[in-house]
Amino acid sequence: CFKEMKMKIFHGSKKIIEKPQFGVGKIHNDYGRSFYCTESLEIAKEWACDYLEDGFANAYKLDCEELKILNLNDKKYNILHWLSILIQNRTFSSNNEMEIMSKKFLMEKYNIDISEDDLIIGYRADDSYFRFAEDFLNNSISVEKLERAKDINKASVGTVKNIAETLGCNIEEII
């Protein structure tokens, strides 16, 4: 989206989605209720076949020209910025004192308001990686180990928020 104003994105699903709709997905995903996409066809296939059932990798062309884009892969952000967004949207299993203090610190120092962003590009926290985030909040692992775990789970996810209502944005099916 940065070199060219159009990018090819994929969305894995149990069904064919001809026209993406905002506000239909799960509320407790990494970036909240959004239409989650990836630039990787392979990752979209993984998402589509989540529970050993057949699914579809829907492909789209996204025109980014009029979009407000937050790129968490930009050097001005680090994993703690991403974690502050995760804290706002995901449900954590414990609420011990250490976790509460960690969340408060991260929200005070690293919080990013994503409410006006149309597209968020960043990491994805599947359930296995989410455990690393929980361990970090409970002071069980260092930020360096959290970073290394993120690097293993490299896939960059583009999250299209409010795309149906964003003027100048066209998603076209290309499969």
Q: What is the pLDDT of residues 18-72, one digit of tens each?
A: 888 777 777 777 788 888 888 888 888 888 887 778 899 999 888 888 888 899 8
> Which residues does residue 13 pair with via DSSP β-bridges, in sequence order?
56
| 77-104: pLDDT as tens digits | 999 998 898 888 888 777 788 888 998 9
How many angstroms separate the Cα of 153 from the Cα of each of 88, 142, 165?
A: 21, 17, 31
The residue type of 69 is: I
- Identity (one letter) of the amino acid at 138? N
Q: Is residue 175's pLDDT more than 50?
A: no
Radius of gyration of the chain (CA): 16
Closest CA to 114 of 80, 146, 89: 89
Q: Which residue has the higher pLDDT, 109 or 25?
A: 109
For the packed helices 79-89 and 127-137, what is the interaxial angle rounded to 10 degrees?
100
Closest Cα to residue 129, out of 157, 106, 170, 158?
Answer: 157
Residue 174: the pLDDT is 38
Whether residue 128 has pLDDT greater than 80: no
Mean predicted confidence (pLDDT) in 13-22: 84
Choose the most confident range, by mean pLDDT, from 83-92, 117-126, 163-172.
83-92
* H-type alpha helices, the chain: 41-48, 79-89, 97-110, 127-137, 143-152
Does residue 164 carry a pLDDT above 50?
Answer: no
**CA-CA distance, 173 to 147, in Å (whole number)?**
35
Do 144 and 135 meet the contact criterion of CB atoms below 8 Å apart? no
DSSP of 54-86, one letter per residue? --EEEEEEEE-TT--EEETTSTT--HHHHHHHH
* pLDDT for the residue 2: 52
Q: What is the pLDDT of residue 171?
A: 43
What does the pLDDT look like over 142-160, one tens digit per residue?
999 988 887 766 555 556 5
Q: What is the pLDDT of residue 31?
A: 80
